[in-house]
Amino acid sequence: MKKLKVCMLSLTLLLSATITHAQTADEVIARHIAAIGGKEKIAQIISINVESTIEVMGSSNSNKVNILNGKGYKSEFNFGGTKIIQCFTDNGGWFINPLMGVSAPTVMPNDDYNAGKDDMFVGGPLLDYAAKGNTVELKGIEKLGDKDAFKIVVTSPQHIVNTEFIDTTTYYIIKAVRNTNGQETSAVYTNFKTTDFGYTMAYTAEITLPQGLTITSTVSKVEFNPSTDAAAFDMPK
């Protein structure tokens, strides 16, 4: 029995070593990019339209996101008949949020812009991170529920810190935490599907805002490379 316990302990240590052996941040990131479709496939994505249903405070609402890869990101959230817009471009950002008393298009504060501008890029902050000026650090493996996940900390030139948790088996990002000025927003991703285009993405996200409010987003439709005019992201006069 003692020998069996020693063997099992040795096997556990061996399996653990196999997961972590020679696993640098760059290697984990490369496997993640390959898992969601690969750099060549992602490079073929010029634009994406995503329609989702947002469940918040017991109500169901619609959300539409338009992305022009590297050039623009626009989210239009219809909350009980009130439209909330967030828009990022490679030149700056703007927003409309009547619930905050902002009914006219307004220039986005720099901190908010820097925190969200990576949403313009398909593949997120990890793809070509060095070219974006980001740095990465692998902080080991953490347990998330019944899954082991690599913990990678991404720091932008503006000192925005994102922490990405990558499943050690699938290499999908299963959780992301964004820290802006000491306030954290987290998202847990599930229901991964490979689209007809060949790009794999999470269709469900449970997002916890700094105020403690949790919302659930479920993708209902995805369209790749629709005709998209960069002018659609310009702030209305």
- Domain 22-223 class? mainly beta
pLDDT at 123: 87
Segment 176-205 mean pLDDT: 93
| Residues whose CB falls within 8 Å of the CB of residue 5, separated by 6 or more in sequence, listed in order | none
Secondary structure (3-state) at 57:
coil
Rounded Cα–Cα distance for residues 64 and 78 (Å) = 9
> Which has more confidence, 173 or 183?
173
Domain ranges (residues) in the chain: 22-223
Range with lowest mean pLDDT among 10-19, 45-54, 135-144, 179-188: 10-19
Task: State the maximum Cα–Cα separation within the chain, in Å, rounded to a whole number.
Answer: 78
Secondary structure (3-state) at 115:
helix
Q: Where are the alpha helices (DSSP H) in 49-145?
A: 110-116
pLDDT at 4: 41
CB 71 within 8 A of CB 90: yes
pLDDT tens digits for 52-84?
999 988 899 999 999 999 999 999 999 988 999
Residue 34 structure tokens: 């390959």
| Residues whose CB falls within 8 Å of the CB of residue 81, separated by 6 or more in sequence, listed in order | none
Q: How far is CA 132 from the centre of its chain?
A: 16
Segment 226-236 mean pLDDT: 94
pTM: 0.87
In whole numbers, what is the pLDDT of the chain averaged over residues?
A: 89
CB 174 within 8 A of CB 189: yes
Q: Give the C-alpha distances (Å, rounded to integers) separating 106 from 19, 63, 82, 96, 100.
A: 48, 20, 16, 6, 12
Question: Backbone phi, then psi, for 19, in 5-degree steps?
Answer: -70, -45
Q: How far is CA 9 from the centre of its chain?
A: 37
Q: Is 192 a residue whose pLDDT tops 70?
A: yes
Q: Model confidence at 2, in pLDDT bands (50, 70, 90)?
A: very low
pLDDT tens digits for 102-157?
999 999 999 889 988 989 999 888 999 999 899 999 999 999 999 999 999 999 99
Rounded Cα–Cα distance for residues 198 and 183 (Å) = 35
Q: Where are the alpha helices (DSSP H) in 36-191?
A: 39-43, 110-116
Rounded Cα–Cα distance for residues 147 and 190 (Å) = 12
Q: Which residues pair with 5 in a beta bridge?
A: none
